[in-house]
Structures are given as C-alpha cells and as structure tokens.
Amino acid sequence: MRVTLTTDMTVYLAEMNGEPVGTATMMTMPNITYGCAPTAFIEAVTVVHDRRRMGIATSILRQVLADARLAGCNKVQLLSHKRHASDGAFSLYAALGFEPEAEGFRLYLGQVPSAVQGFKGR
C-alpha cells in the first residue's frame, strides 16, 4: 500500500502471457545541484530466472530512462551489488550507457538478505 501512495515512485512490471516476468522501480528526488534538476534512482531490477537474456530488463530500463528524461532528470543512479559483476547485469547497464563512477555504501537497518550474507567479505 505504501508504494502506491509514494507519488515520486513508479513501479515497472513486464509480463509475458499474462505472467509477471520482470520489474524495476524508479524514484525521482529534487536536487539542489545541476540546476535543481531531479535525480532518478533505479532499484529492484529483476527478471525471472528462466526469462533472463531475452531483452526483458533492457526493455524495462529503456522505458525507465525515457520516463526519467520526461521528468527532467539530469542524472540517473543505479546501484548493483558486486555479486552481479559476472552474471550479466553490469554488462547490461554498461550497454545502456551507465558507467561505474562511484563507490556505494549500504547499511541494513533490519534483516540482511541471504544473497548478500553469502557474498559478504569477498
């Protein structure tokens, strides 16, 4: 319910044959730099495992980027866990024009996802 009440957030859902196969979210935030143009943040880029490498994430992200442009965003930020360096995600983001530019930091205030726990310390 909270997601639907968040006015600056858009949830993207890709479907095949009526079944959900991919998602992403974009949230825009006002910015005091870059002429006060908003910044877009992309999260939750996921595709069902057996539907990967079919262009689904590419299609979703192209729409997200088009919407960010329409919203007047100057910058789009997307964080991806280091564990995705070898599964194709980093290549996907680079093909869409994203560049690794900053070191990200994360602090979980609640439960740490099991996929992250298994990767810590590498």
pLDDT tens across 8-60, in order?
Answer: 899 999 999 999 999 999 999 998 887 889 999 999 999 999 999 999 999 99
E-state strands within the chain: 9-16, 19-29, 39-47, 75-78
> Which helix (H) or strand (E) is 64 found in, with range?
helix 56-70
Q: With pLDDT > 70 as the criterion, what percentage of the chain qualifies?
A: 92
- Are 80 and 57 in contact by the 8 Å Cβ rule? The answer is no
Tell me how far apart the alpha carbons of residues 24 and 64 are, in angstroms, rounded to a whole number: 8
Tell me how far apart the alpha carbons of residues 102 and 79 are, in angstroms, rounded to a whole number: 10
Residue 118: pLDDT over 80: no
Number of Cβ within a 10 Å radius of residue 47: 21
Domains, the chain, ranges and CATH?
2-117 (3.40.630.30)
pLDDT category of residue 121 using cuts at 50, 70 and 90:
low
pLDDT number for residue 81: 78
SS3 assignment, position 24: strand
Record the pTM. 0.83
pLDDT number for residue 120: 59
